[in-house]
Amino acid sequence: MRKILIPTDFSENSMNAIKYATELFKYDRAEIYLLHAYADEVYEAKSRLANEIFEELHQKALNKIKDSLENFREKIVAFSPNPKHTIHTIAEFSLLVDSVNDWVEKENIDVVVMGTKGQTSDKKITFGSNTLQVIKYVKCPVLAIPEVYGDVHPKNILFPTDYQLPYKRRELKLVSSIAKCFISKVDFLYVSKFPSMSLRQQDNKKFLEASFCENQISFHHETGADVTKAINVFIIENPIDMLVMVNTRHSYLENILYQSTIEKIGLHIDIPFLVLQNLPR
C-alpha cells in the first residue's frame, strides 16, 4: 500500500501535481491524503480584526476549506476514477511544514507530492517558498512537479550521486518501483575531478546496483568539480524526465537549498524533481 500526501493551496499548479501523482502511482494501491494547512491565512486576517470575531472567522475559513477540499476530491475522482486509490481530505489549523511533518509521522507517508510553485507563481523562480520549506525540513521523499509539466511517464531518470553516504533502502525502493512500472532507465551521474573512488564509495555504488537490480541502469563519471554544470549538460543532452537527488547534511543539494535562491546556483529544474531525504524517521 502506497501512502501519498499532497499539500494543496487549490491553485492550478497544485491540481497539476495531483494529476501527475494519480497517474504516476496508478498501478499501486494507494491512500492519498489531500492536505490544506490554513493557520497563516487565518492569522493574517486576525491582525486586522477584534478577538471576539476571530473564532467566527476561523470557523468560516474551515468550512470554506472543507468545501474546497471536497471539490478537489470530486475532481480527482472524475479524471482518475481509480478503484485502487482511496482519497482522504485534511483541513488543519497549522503551519504547512509542521502539518506535513505531523502527517508524515502519523500515517508513515511514502512520498509528499506538490507543485514547484503555488498560487503566487513567479516564472523567474524555480521553487515557491512553501515547496522549498517542505523539501528542506520534511523527513520524507518530496516530489515537486513543475506547473506546466504534463508527461507522466518517466522513461529516463537522472540520479546524480557522489556515493559518499549510505542510502535509505525504503527511499531507493520508491525510485526503483517507479522505474519498474514505466520501464524507465536510471542514469547515475558521478561528478568528480578524481578518477578513482574510495572503498566506501565503491561499497555504496554496489548497494545501488543491488537496489536497482530489476531496473535498467547506467553509471556515468564526469570529470570535473562543477556538479551544477554537469547536471544541466546531462539533462540538455539526454531526454531526462525526472531528476532524483539526496538531501542530507553537507550534501550538494543541501548547499543549494540553504542558499537564498536556487537560481544563484544555476541549477535549472523544469522536470519533476524527487528529493530523497536520507533522514531517520
Kindly report, residue by residue over 175-200, the tens digit of the pLDDT: 999 999 999 999 999 999 988 999 99
* Each residue's pLDDT tens digit, 172-181: 999 999 999 9
Residues 8, 145: Cα–Cα separation, whole Å: 12
Name the band, by pLDDT with cuts 50, 70 and 90, for residue 260.
Answer: very low
Return the closest-CA partner of residue 34 out of 130, 110, 103, 120. Answer: 103
Residue 253: predicted pLDDT: 66
Least confident of 15-19, 94-98, 234-238, 263-267: 263-267
- pTM reported for the whole predicted model: 0.88
Looking at 10-14, 258-262, 270-274, which range is the least confident one?
A: 258-262
Residue 119 — very low, low, confident or very high, per pLDDT cuts 50/70/90? low
In order, the DSSP letters of 137-203 are: H-SS-EEEE-TT-------EEEEE--S-S---HHHHHHHHHHHHHTT-EEEEEEEESSSS--HHHHH
Looking at residue 72, its pLDDT comes to 92
Contact 215, 176 (CB under 8 A): yes
Q: What is the mean pLDDT of residues 67-84?
A: 94
Mean pLDDT of 107-115: 96
How far is it, in rounded angstroms, from Cα 86 to Cα 232? 38
For residues 102-130, one letter each, b for 16 or more C-beta atoms within 10 angstroms of the residue's C-beta and e for the rest, the string is ebbeeeebbbbbbbbbbeeeeeeebbbeb
Residue environment code for 224-248, b if the CB has 16+ CB neighbours within 10 A, otherwise e: eeebbebbeebbeeeebbbbbbbbb
Q: What percent of the chain has pLDDT over 70?
A: 82
2-145 and 156-245 agree in CATH topology: yes
Q: For residue 173, what is its C-alpha cell?
A: 525502493
* Residue 59 or 273, more confident: 273
- Does pLDDT of 250 surpass 60? no
CATH value of 156-245 in 3.40.228.10, 3.40.50.620, 3.40.190.10, 2.60.120.1130: 3.40.50.620
Higher pLDDT, 31 or 254: 31
Q: CA 20 to CA 18: how far, in whole Å?
A: 5
- pLDDT category of residue 111 using cuts at 50, 70 and 90: very high
Domain 2-145, CATH number (from 3.90.870.40, 3.40.50.620, 3.40.50.740, 3.40.50.12160)? 3.40.50.620
Average pLDDT of the chain to the nearest whole number: 86
The tens digit of pLDDT for each residue in 29-70 reads: 999 999 999 876 666 555 555 566 777 777 888 899 999 999
Domain boundaries, the chain: 2-145, 156-245
